[in-house]
Structure 1
Amino acid sequence: MKSRSALHFVLIIGIANFFADFTYEGARGIIGPFLGSLGASAAIVGFVAGLGELMGYGLRSVSGYFADKSHRHWAFAFLGYAINMFAVPALALAGRWPLAASLVVSERVGRGIRKPTVEAMLSYAGRSIGAGWVFGLNEALDQAGATIGPLLMALVLYLNGGYRTGFGVLLIPALLCLATLVLARVLHPRPHELEEGAGHAFATANLKQTYWIYFVAGALLAAGFADFALIGFHFQKANVMRGNLIPVFYAVAMAASALASIPLGRLFDMRGPNVSLFAFLISAAAAPFIFLSTSTFALIGMIFWGIGMSAQGSLFQAMLTGVIPPQKRSTAFGLFDTGYGIAWFLGSAVMGLLYDRSLLAVVLFSVVLQLAAIPVLFIANKKR
């Protein structure tokens, strides 16, 4: 009975996240051009994107800590989702780039507030149905939304709807996300009860050494994982493909991520955490295909990139769930995400600087850091 309830909860949250990703990933591909149309320079666009990500990741440790302290996980979830969702369609009303920029940053802040809390609530279901299955299913629904959203925006632009029309259309999935979240709250007001009694498996409420080893591995992978902003910039600058195909390549990566999530999650539950080593090996192979080849091989690289994103979005949470005491889940997930985000920000900055000097240097930086994470992960998996 508890396993059925756990699966039901994961599905509802997954559907909410489907609509959430539909909304903000749909907007992501047109935010840069929209800011440019309002008079923002390339430097401003880059700064706004970086600031949004940095604040979004930086807030996760804070929101996770206070969610655990106050035990008001649903309150933090609703606050984060509301900011996250309403900031996107509000862009349709922005007439100047500073207002639009503040909404872009707000969207990331909202996601940062709710992410560790939602991850913690999902983790409680892992005891009944398997952590790999929980996060794999959630990631699959996430990335399904992230695939459809950009394609819908491409259709809106193709039909000459304009950026504002696109943002306005995204109000629909935003409202559906919040409605689904209300349903989840009504049907599952106390998700921690899905893992009742699990706390006895932990001798202490402190974070174990294994957690910190995973933290290091996550930072290495994040620093070496090329951001799509740089990838898209490369595709356009190097004329790897026609400009209107760049969002399609991104959608292919999201589809690959969605399709890989459930098999990776199931393999995690059946074979153990070392499944992640294989997934991240594929991720490390993405950069040479993306930056040093033609459009056909670049497409293969984007598929590898999507698999890497899937592994980061599902397997890490599954691995962490097994080493974090239930009462520290939001705090630990938030802290991990903050470290991950800072590493991603720094790695992206380094790759951006290297790009102007040598594509080979970008590839080596990406591959070496991701490969360096694999033995660290192996050590952490051995200590579980």
Structure 2
Amino acid sequence: MRRANSRMAWRFVILLGVVSLFADMTYEAARSITGPFLAVLGASATVVGIVAGLGELIGYGLRIVSGVISDRTHRYWAITIVGYAVNLLAVPALALAGRWEIAAVLIMAERFGKAIRTPARDAMLSHAARGLGRGWAFGIHEAMDQIGALIGPMIVAGVLAWKGSYESGFAVLAVPAFLALAVLAIARINYPQPHDLEPSFRGLEAGGLRSTFWFYLMAVACIALGFADYPLAAFHMKTKGIMADKWIPLIYAGAMGVDALSALAFGRLYDKKGIRALFIVVALSAWSAPLVFLSGPGLLLLGMTLWGIGMGAQESVIRAVVADIVPRDRRATGYGVFHAGFGLAWFAGSALMGFLYDRSVTALAAFSVVSQFASLPVLYSVQKRLHPKRASMEQKG
């Protein structure tokens, strides 16, 4: 019986992974060209910035609402399907926009759809992951996600080279969008009650989001605050003449490859070592900013490798810990609050690092390192709450 349940859980994880592969192929491809597309339609740089910023604010901020509604109504599948439909169908619709105002609404609709479906989707995934090793299951999901994120922009680049039309690029993305929805429908038909894949589990603290969750959110917010965005790193490479233009997207693609491998490796490590896996991640990724912003091409590539390691861990280990802290019936709420808090910290840190870059690159690098290392004592506090006996033995040793 246990082996049969394990097989069912793995199939569910793989199905959701395939959905994410096609979904990322769709909207990551679109995100790679929405800026120049808005410019072609006549939007100003200010409009592009506002649309991007507001879209991300919607994409993270509304996850709290979506998570709470998911847990209160228990309509996880309905909310996930509606979210994916809005998220994905808005992309090929951009081919018909014609005006930047319509395109802006569709871009924000895509982010709105992602906000709707992410907490419910992650909650369902966490149920299947319980008996498989949550770090490994979330790592598999993230690796498949990143495969789509790599393929999508390449497809759009090929269409642009062939047709020379942004509209054609968006139209082609209807194919992976509908494939994602088709696989999602298959998952819904075969697994109507994903929570049955997880044994009854009340979490570390029954009743909801208690102190351990909030301490953990505080720790990962420190990591998010100090994690530099790739656009800022790419801006640095371009303006300082460190890398030729043709290499900048390839460096990003390489970092995404490291991201996928990191998600698998650190996901497996989390299942063996617990939250201590994050200590190793922070010790590595914290040095990415100094290497990227204060060195030449060789060390910059090492810095981007460490950056990719951090990204992979964020999408595997960090999500897996939430599932181990939050009770099953509050899981979507937990993910909604977590994603919103993490996202807001990320954007605050990105804005501050952009401000620091214009004044002192050294200050930017120092802020990044200090902020990420500030997470370690808080993570240790969380570890003591999760494994009090183990932490006590380590202190005596």
Find the residue that maps to 1:128 and give its secondary structure: coil
Q: Which amino acid aligns with 1:333?
A: Y
Q: Which amino acid aligns with 1:278?
A: I
How far does residue 8 in structure 1 lie from its aligned partner after superposition? 0.7
Work out the CA distance in 1 between the residues paired with 2:92 and 2:299: 36
Structure 1 equivalent of residue 239 of structure 2: 237
How far does residue 157 in structure 1 lie from its aligned partner after superposition? 3.0
Find the residue that maps to 1:379 and give its secondary structure: helix
Bigger Cα displacement from structure 2, 62-71 vs 371-380: 371-380
CA spacing shift, 1:246–1:103, aligned 2, 3 Å: farther
Alignment equivalent of 2:323, drawn from 304, 311, 321: 321
Work out the CA distance in 1 between the residues paired with 2:160 and 2:246: 10
Work out the CA distance in 2 between the residues paired with 1:144 and 1:45: 27
Residue deviations 1:292-346 (CA, integer Å, cap 9, x gap) = 2333333322222111111111111111111110000000110011111111111
Contact 2:279 2:376 in 1 (8 A): yes
Q: Which amino acid aligns with 1:257?
A: D
The 5-angstrom pairing of residues 1-384 of structure 1 reads: 1-199=4-202, 204-384=206-386
CA spacing shift, 1:156–1:178, aligned 2, 3 Å: same
Work out the CA distance in 1 between the residues paired with 2:26 and 2:129: 27
Aligned residues with identical type, % of pairs: 50
Q: Which amino acid aligns with 1:21?
A: D
Contact 1:25 1:149 in 2 (8 A): yes
Contact 1:150 1:251 in 2 (8 A): no
CA spacing shift, 1:118–1:92, aligned 2, 3 Å: same
Find the residue that maps to 1:242 and give its secondary structure: coil
Bigger Cα displacement from structure 2, 303-312 vs 114-123: 303-312
Contact 1:265 1:314 in 2 (8 A): yes
Q: Which amino acid aligns with 1:370?
A: Q
Find the residue that maps to 1:310 and give its secondary structure: helix
Contact 2:13 2:129 in 1 (8 A): no
Find the residue that maps to 1:226 and give its secondary structure: coil
Contact 1:283 1:307 in 2 (8 A): yes
Work out the CA distance in 2 between the residues paired with 1:158 and 1:146: 19
Structure 1 unaligned spans of 5+: none
Structure 2 unaligned spans of 5+: 387-397
Work out the CA distance in 2 between the residues paired with 1:155 and 1:240: 26
How far does residue 160 in structure 1 lie from its aligned partner after superposition? 4.8
TM-score (normalizing by structure 1): 0.96
Residue deviations 1:191-237 (CA, integer Å, cap 9, x gap) = 000113223x6562222321111110121111111122322222222
Larger Cα-atom Rg: 2
Q: Which amino acid aligns with 1:346?
A: A
How far does residue 263 in structure 1 lie from its aligned partner after superposition? 1.4
Contact 1:52 1:104 in 2 (8 A): yes
Bigger Cα displacement from structure 2, 358-367 vs 188-197: 358-367
CA spacing shift, 1:331–1:340, aligned 2, 3 Å: same
Find the residue that maps to 2:315 and give its secondary structure: helix
Residue deviations 1:233-280 (CA, integer Å, cap 9, x gap) = 222222322223322222111111111111111111122220111112
TM-score (normalizing by structure 2): 0.93
Off by >4 Å, runs of 4+ in structure 1: none
Q: Which amino acid aligns with 2:215?
A: I
